[in-house]
Each structure stands twice: as structure tokens, then as C-alpha cells.
Structure 1
Amino acid sequence: MKKLLRLMKAFQLNGKLNRKLNVMIAVIMVPFIILVIYLLASMINYCNSYNQIVRNVSLANSYNIDFKKEIDAGMYQIAIGSAVPENIQEKKDIRNPYEVLEEARTDFAKLQKSTLAPGNERRVKRLLKTFDTLEKRMQEISADAGVSGHYEENLVRLDNNIRILTEVLQEGIQEYIHYETDHLESVRYELEQKEQDAVEISVICLIVVIAGAVMVGFAISRSVVKPIVGMCKTTEEVALGNFDVRVEVNSSDETAILAESFNRMIADMGELVERIKQEQLNLRDAELKLLQAQINPHFLYNTLDTIIWMAEAGKKEEVVSLVSSLSGFFRTTLSKGRDYITVREEVSHISSYLEIQKFRYRDIMDYEINIPDSMSEYPILKLTLQPLVENALYHGIKNKRGKGKIEVQGAIKNNLLIFTVKDDGIGMMPEQLHMLYETIEKEHSDSEDNAGFGLANVNERIRLNYGKEYGLTFSSVYGEGTAVSVTIPI
């Protein structure tokens, strides 16, 4: 018993889990498979024997009565000279006795090979010899049937040879059927005994299999459950914020691999949490810098100066409109501290901004906003489009001689929101465009250039919130204008 317990303990600690499960399956399945194969082989063997005996009896029984009648009737017609073997069937509607004899000899030759009853092979062999003797006597009668003066002799031969031999053959066939049937009963009895043995063996095998399965299953469950319980306790510690805890497993199966992976996951989670904290700090820093940029004192001073000289000039309606746009601009900028606003609110924000700037730059700036209503209710990061519009004005339109236009467009494509801010301003040289890409690709850009800072800030916020596959793309031709596209997921 102690040796068995040591073996079970070693089984728990050593080996892969799939190997343990395979052992358990083998303990359950192998005995059953052997038992099923044994039972199937026995059943098939006895069923084949049973069926073969039935076929043999059926075949022999077909000659039990008709054979004697057909031979006797056919030979009588030949003996009296009423017919010859070649045309007997055509004249008298009686089967040719030679054909009947040949069929019987062929069938009983098969029975000699397939018979299973003890002694029946010898009996069939004796019947085959009797068939040969019968054929010789039939030939004697057939030879003298066409010669005059042999009528009485052939009738005597018919009575003393043919009918006696057919009687002997009929008795031999009945004897064959009798012993074959007796063997059928013995096969049936053996089959019943095998069924009883199979039930007893199945019960014993079932008891052994259940006992083995319980022992192996208990060993496997302990080897699996114990480490999992340890991982559950460790998970509770991790849930409380302790990323220094680790799982200890003293086995070499898959649970050990799982524990190692679990420990690595805890370590990665700790690093990830720290990285997320840092990214959140970076995101808040970027948002704060952008908010500070939007509450630009120069922009506010210039707007208030514009309001003052309009008021002095008596342009009350324009003052009301400008104050309303300024109020809407800062209301959206603050947005009660929300990070996300709807596309409609973002459009209202850039409309307010462009209206304010149009009062100041009415001679050089025009704008157009084409964003479909179907996009209005989708959420978007606050202050995504306004910095792009501001960049288009200050670094595109203002640097161009003559009047320019800013266009803001939106579209939905492949579950993406795509916004484009285009201007027909001065544009950029290829090297300027390259430097701009380098600026916005730098994380935590501290560029003093307003264009670089604003665009880099927007790009960084988009990537921190949506993923690095999203952000800004640019196209620009010097002297023709610039287009900035924003791609974010719905």
C-alpha cells in the first residue's frame, strides 16, 4: 500500500498533464477495448457458425424429397424408352435426371467443405461416392434404353438399382440434416454460455476500471487543482494591487508552464500599469498644453480689441455676433472637463473660431465646412480639428499674398471617421514637410514652433487614445496649399 501511495505521489509530480490524462484514458479504455474485441470476435465466430449451419441445412433440405422423385421419374421415362436424356424435359416436363444429379453432387461438394458438425464431412463424402455409383447405374439403363429386348431388364434395374440408391441417398441426406441440426443446438448453447461469461467478465472489468479511474483521477485532480488554487490566491493578491507576488508550483506538467506564464503576466501587468500611469500623465500634460494654447492671451487680447473698436464704431450686431462666437469657442474648449465631445460640438467649435478670425481677417480669409449630418453624433476627442484650422490660417493663408480659403470636410469609410482640413495658402517645400513629419512623430514634443507644437500635440493625443495606427497625415505643394487628414475609428 505504501509503495502504491509513493507511486501515486510520483505520478502527481512528474510527467505532463496530457500524459497523465492519457494514462487515465488508457486505464478506462484499454480494458473495455479488449473486452469489446473479445466479445465481438466471439459473437462473430458463433454467428458465422450459426448462419453457416442454417445455410447447410437449408441447402441439404432442398434435396431431401425432390431429389428422389426427380431421379426416379426421369429414369423411368428413359427405362421404358419414352424419352432419351437429351429431350426428356421437352417431352414430359420432367427434369433431366443427369442435371439433377450433377447439381446435387456440386452442392454436396460445397457442403463437404463448409460442414461444421462432427462426422458430417465423412457422411457427405459417403454421399458423393453414392452419387458416383448412381450415375453409373443410370448410364447402364440409358445405354440399353434404345436397344430392343432390354425393356424388362431396365425396369428391374430401375427397381433394384436406381430406386434403392435414391432411397439410400435420401436417408443419407436426412442423416446429414439430423447431425447438422444437433450441432446447431450445441452452437446455440455455447453462445448462451459465452453471453453469461461476457456479463461476468464485463462486471469484473467494470469494477477494476472504476477503481483504477478513481485512483488515477484523484491523482490528476490533485496535481491540477492544487496549483490552480495557488494561482487563485495569487490572483486575489494581484487584484489588491500587489504585483510582486508569485505562484510556486513543484510539478513538471502543464500547470508549471501555466504558473510560469502567470508569473510573467503578473510582471508584465506591473510594468503595463506603470506604463499606463505614465501615458496618462503624458496625455494629461498634452491636453493641458493644448488647453493652454487655446486660451492664448494674444488671441483673447486681439479678439477683445476687435470687440472694442467695433463697439466704438457702433456695430452692435457685429459685437453681439463676435461675443457669441467667443463665448461658444471657450465653452467648447472647457466642455465641463470632458475629454470627448460629439462631432457636432467640434464643428461648432471650429465654426466659432473661424467666425472670430473672419472678423479680423475678412479681407484675406474665407472658409467652408462640409461635414455630413450622419457624423454629428459620433464622439471625438475635444480640440482635434481646431488646431488644424488654426495652423491652416496662420501658416497657410496669412503667408500667402491675396485671399485664401479653408475647407473642412468629413466622411465615413470602413468604420473610420476621416476629417480633412485644406487650405490654398503658401504650402510647404518637401524639406519643410519632412521636418514637420519628424516633429509630430516625436513623443512629448517641446517644439517652440506653434505649428509643430499644435500638430504634434493633436497627433500624440490621438495615438494615446486610439492607438498608434491612427493620427495625422499631410500633403502639401509649395505655392498651392496644404491638406491635413485626421483618421480615427468610429
Structure 2
Amino acid sequence: MEKVKKEKSIIGQINDMSHKMVLMLVMPIFLSLVLMLVYAGKYSMAISRMETIASLKPIVAEEIPETAWNIISGRDTIEKSKIYGRLHIVDEVIDEVTGKTGQENRLSLIVAGRTMKTLEKYVDQIRDNINAEVPVVENEAVLEEIREVSSLVDSMLNDYIAAEIASTGRMSGTLKGVIIATAILEAVIVIAALWIRNRSMKKTAAFVRTPIENLEKVAASLAEGTLDARIRATEVTELRNLTTQVNTMADRLETMMKKSVEDERNLRKAELRTLQAQINPHFLYNTLDAIVWKAEAEDKDEVISLTSALSDFFRISLSSGADWIPISQEKKHIEGYLKIQQTRYRDILRYEIDIPDEIGNYYILKLLLQPLVENAIYHGIKSKRGGGTIKVSVRLDGEDLVFSVKDDGAGMTPYQMDQLKERMKKSQPNSVSESSGGFGLVNVNLRIRLYYNQPNGLNIESDSSGTEVSFRVPCRTREGILENESISG
């Protein structure tokens, strides 16, 4: 038993590739950004610690010895000088910075903090001497000790700042190395991403091209008359419905070819359906060829648009076996067909569709307009230098619907008009070959006369300015034909 492959979407394939590419390119950038932010934070904190310690130097080296001299000389008192407040501020700041400093640089601050305790003891000694009213000479000796200790603490603070500068320099070098390494890694990843992108694009192209080529082969087989040709199930989501519709079309074609008819009227209907269906494989073959070309050009949007339009085209063509469909469906069918043809003949084909929504619920025999539009393209627009415009319109006239397909193409000569009218008088659909021209017009003319049971089918007017093909049929509602005919909602 054949293993069923997991269904995949064309857009999903492309999105997966895009997400992988983005992830590969963003990760090193994100990593380098995080590292730079971390090192920048460390650098900022180091600068902040150095600024804080530097702010203590004037207090230790100048303010404390000067305040001690003012106390000894009698210019100030212990209480008013607030010398202990200065000592405590220096102690607290040193303790705080020591807690934020790494092990390699905190030794100088620890020793400085302990030395500040010695400095405080000398201040205590001056206070005690003053209270004991000892000679000033003894306090002057203590003052010299204070100056020496203050100078020592100042030197320790300088050592700490120097160590922090050296550490910051090493940090800067490390950051530079990280940036260089990240840049190299980014370059390597970009190269790898480009390589992966090329492989993924080739894989995606093959992923789309292979099932389309299978569709093209089956369509070619159907065009050649091999009605037992079928398409294998595809894993491409966008082609699943199209594959199903084509296989269904082939099944119906084969069924209709084998079906026997009981009377001449049913025989003519079967023959007309066969002729009608023979148009589709040729159209499918050419359209799939265009889709393959778009896929090879990696134009995914156009591939998806054409594939969807083609799927809608065949879905309405089949209409679940119904002969009658709403005008709104016929309109959608024509829009899909013209959209596909405009893609193939972009520079020469323009079109307009004027079908009011209020008549969309009336029913008509399906596939009356498409052969007329096809005839206008191949025998009118393509034959005119510079291309032209096709206008499809429907209007309500009393109890009738009037349909018109008009082009400003090359038109027909009087001789060609006479030949076409002569062929349209034939009662057998197989009396006109596709290569003889007017095949679609004759087919539609016969179907209108047969299904609507009226003597006249198409009305054709043509000159050098273009051709207009029109027909008039009675309005039909769903309820009016439900009892005797199969219809499509």
C-alpha cells in the first residue's frame, strides 16, 4: 500500500524557509547585542565606582587634616567641625564601593577602610588631649600622624582607581574581541544562509514544478484522447483541488464517451458535451504550461493566482454534472477564464464584464459564454496588431435575457461571415472541425437551439471595427427547471 505523504502548502514551504533564514541571521546579532549590553553595563559601573572614590580624595587628603589643625589651633571645636561626620562618610562610601567591586580590585579599598579606623583613633586622641588640657605640642605630633595616614589612604584610593582603569582596559579589549568574533560568525552564517536559501529555492521550485508537470502530462493525454489518464494524488495543498477536479473531469469525460443514448436528441446532447469537453484539455494544457513557466520564474503569487483561477474554472465547468447554472456562476466562470487568458496575453488582451447582480439568480445553460469569449480572443484580438478589448454583457429585456460578447478585433470579411453562417445551419455538431474556425460558435448555436427549443441561436455582426456575438433566451428560474433538468446551486 502506497504511503500517504503529508500535505504541504507552497506558502508554508516558503514561510518555513523564511523563518529559518531570519532565525539564522538574527541569532548572532541578538547574541552580540546582549554581550555588548553586558560589557557596557560593567564598564558604566566601573566608571561610576571610580568617580565615587575620586570624590573621596579631597576629603581624605585635604579636608580631614585641615579640620584637625583647626581643632588643635583652637579655631574650631570637635562638635562644630563635624570631623567625625566626614570620617564616617568616607568609611561608608568605601564599604559600599568595596561590596560592588570584584575580588581582583577590592584589596586596596579593604586596607583603606581599615586605615580609616586608625585615622579615627588619632582624632579621638586629639579630643582626649584637648579635654585633658595637655600642651598643644603633643597634639601637633598627633596632627602629623593624621596627615601621614590621610596621605596613605589617598594613595590607596589612587591604587584602587589605577586598578579599575586597568581592569576596564582589559574589559574593553575583551569586548573588542567579542565584536570581532561575532562579526566573523555573522559572515559565516550569512554565507551558510545564502547556501541554504539556494537549496531551499531549488527544492521549493521542484516541489511545485513536479506535480504541475504531472498535471500537464495528463492534460496532454486527455487532449490526445486518452481518457483513462489520471493524476496521482499530490502533497501540494494548492494543487489538491485542481488535481481532484481534473481527475473528476476525466472520469466524466470517460463516462460520457461510453454512455449510450436512446434517441437522436440524447445522442446530440452527448455529442455536444463531448465536443464541449474537448476544449478543456487543450486549455488546461496551455494554462499549466504557463503555470510551470511562472513557477520556474519563482513568481509564487502568480502561480497561486493562476492555480486558484483554474480550479474555479473547472469546478464551474463540471458543476456536479448539472446542465443549468446561475448566471452568477457563469459570470465567475468567465472571470476566471479571462483572468487566465490575460495572464497569457497580458500585453494584448483587456476585458470588461457587465453583468448586473440583480439577474445573477436566473439560470442558463452552462458554458454558453466561454466559447464565445474564446472565439473573440483567438479570431479577433490575436489577429489585430496591438491587441484589443473584449466586453461581456447581459441585460434583462422583458421576459428574456440578452447576452453579448463584443470585441474590437480584426473582424470578419463578408465572405467569412457567409461561410460561418453556412456552417451554423448544419444540424450535426461533428460537421465542423475545430481547425476550420468558428468551432465554438457552431457548438453554442446548436446547444441554444437544442436546449431552449428555439429556431434561432446566435446573432453575429462583424466588420473591420470588430465583432459582436449575441443571443436571446427566455428567463429560467430554479423552480421552473427543477422538475425536468439537473441544476447547480
- TM (norm. structure 2) is 0.48
Q: Which has the larger Rg?
A: 1
- TM (norm. structure 1) is 0.48
